């Protein structure tokens, strides 16, 4: 089976052609760097993403957050639902952990900006 992907690993946006057998990439073409090859292999076997969103503080002020690492693509909505249910107290500092283990992924959700309220 062949899959066509657009790499999101860097700003180049290479158009990738991936030959897939038994759920694994056996060859990748179209990438201009190693990032594209790694992205293609992960994307066809176990896709992951960093989740960036906002959490509403206890006083109603939005706080920008993102996951500290990649989470499985099929867990994104669970992570977002958990973020929606969190209401941190202010002040929040850049890098503060808002959620320790988002949706059981082992990945923390951290503030990406200091917010004093």
What mean pLDDT comes out for the span 26-48? 96
Beta bridge partners, 65, equal 53, 111
What is the rounded average pLDDT for all residues in the chain? Answer: 97
What is the reported pTM? 0.86
The percent of residues above 70 in pLDDT, for the chain, comes to: 100
Looking at residue 117, its pLDDT comes to: 75
What are the structure tokens assigned to 55, written together?
């959490």
Confidence of residue 52 (pLDDT cuts 50, 70, 90): very high
pLDDT attached to residue 57: 97
DSSP state string for 18-46:
EEEETTEEEEEES-SSHHHHHHHHHHHHS
42: confidence class by pLDDT, cuts 50, 70, 90:
very high
Domains of the chain, first to last: 2-46 (no CATH), 52-111 (3.10.530)
| Residue 91: φ, ψ to 5° | -80, 155
- By the 10 Å C-beta count (0-12 exposed, 13-18 middle, 19+ buried), 91 is classed as middle
Contact 76, 82 (CB under 8 A): no
**pLDDT surpassing 90 at residue 76:** yes
């Amino acid at each position: 089976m062949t899959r066509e992907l657009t790499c999101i690993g860097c700003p180049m946006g290479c158009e990738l052609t991936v030959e897939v057998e038994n759920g694994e990439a056996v060859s990748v073409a179209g990438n201009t760097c190693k990032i594209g090859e790694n992205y293609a292999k992960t994307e066809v076997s176990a896709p992951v993403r960093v989740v960036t969103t906002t959490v509403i503080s206890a006083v109603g002020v939005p706080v920008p957050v993102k996951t500290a690492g990649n989470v499985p693509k099929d867990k994104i909505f669970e992570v977002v639902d958990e973020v929606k249910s969190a209401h941190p107290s202010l002040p929040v500092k850049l890098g503060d952990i808002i959620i320790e283990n988002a949706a059981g992924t082992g990945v923390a959700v951290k503030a990406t900006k200091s917010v004093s309220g």
